[in-house]
Amino acid sequence: MKVYISGKFYDKAEAKISVYDHGLLYGDGVFEGIRSYGGKIFRLQQHLKRLYDSAKAIQLVIPMTQEELAAVIRQTLELNGLKDAYIRVVVTRGAGSLGLDPRKTSDPQVIVITDHIQLYPPELYENGLEIVTVSTIRNHPNALSPRIKSLNYLNNILAKLEAIEAGCLEALMLNHKGEVAECTGDNIFLVTRGTLRTPPLDAGILEGITRNAVIELAKRDGIPVREDALTRHDVYTADECFLTGTAAEIIPVVKCDGRVIGTGKPGPVTRRLRELFFALVREEE
């Protein structure tokens, strides 16, 4: 597998960057996770927009245009002969001195890794996932905005560790107000009396590309959608719950904090949206 780093392609074992890179030293950088299905890259422009917006928010200038980066991503997929792939784009602040000051760095590094995707185990898509609310709250938007997809994912990793400790694969994270925010790598949706509900962006969440696609699909299919502040009570009493993310796609959740959600099986709205989503990823480029 070839990896792109700032203008050149390297074999996986040779794909390396400096230990002085602030991406490593401080998590100073941004990234994206993107999928391609049958050679079609799903919503590449939206992923690139989010990447460049994240970079802008941390005053990082990506040293190429969105068009140039899109071309590099396509070239990397082609070189690796991948049609169904996970694409990881990373932009680091670059190598610098051992201080925080981003001005004392040079040459942001642009990295494109393409590989096969590791989804949740297939039986969980059939039977549903169990999640648990963790004590680690999602980053306060005024500390590190969850809208920025930064290389500093410790907030999510701390939550993930708690979930693993509790025997679950994903954690439900609340925000500083105690409202439902999102999971460590996925957005959350509920279905209550036929209405699809998901936390609004100001709950302090990442604006998921899959989240936006699901909202669009539901609206087009005549399913009412609301972006509402949600509590754990809403999760426990929902008829259906599912998570969305580039890697996870749409995965049903059937238990949260020991409470069975709905019938305890993936529900009809979740199944319908999964169908529509798979049709979409195969159609769209």
Nearer to ligand PMP, 72 or 183 (CB): 183
DSSP-derived pairing of the beta strands 129-133 and 195-198: unpaired
Q: Which is nearer to ligand PMP, 51 or 82 (CB)?
A: 51
Question: Is 255 annotated in the active site?
Answer: no
Query: Of the listed 149, 160, 177, 255, which one is catalytic?
Result: 149
- Among residues 130 and 186, whose Cβ is nearest to ligand PMP? 186
Shortest reach from residue 156's CB to ligand PMP, in Å: 6
Q: Which is nearer to ligand PMP, 82 or 87 (CB)?
A: 87
The encoded tokens of residue 277 equal 């989503």
Q: What backbone torsions phi and psi does residue 162 show, to the nearest 5 degrees?
A: -65, -40
Task: Summarize the chain as % helix, strand, coil (round to 5).
Answer: 35, 30, 40
Question: What's the min distance (Å) between Cβ of 177 and ligand PMP?
Answer: 18
Nearest to 280 by CA among 220, 205, 222: 220
Residue 247 CB, shortest distance to ligand PMP, in Å, is: 7
Number of Cβ within a 10 Å radius of residue 78: 12
Amino acid letter, residue 43:
R
Shorter beta-carbon distance to ligand PMP: residue 108 or 245 = 245
36 bridge partner residues: 41, 85
Q: What residues line the site for ligand PMP (CB under 6 A)? A: 33, 156, 182, 185-187, 206, 208-211, 244-246
Count of C-beta atoms within a 10 Å radius of residue 84: 12
20, 99 Cβ separation under 8 angstroms: no
In whole angstroms, the minimum distance from the beta carbon of 198 to ligand PMP comes to: 11
Cα 128–Cα 130–Cα 131 angle in degrees, nearest 5: 135
Whole-number minimum distance, CB 3 to ligand PMP, in Å?
Answer: 20
Q: Which residues have a catalytic role annotated? A: 149
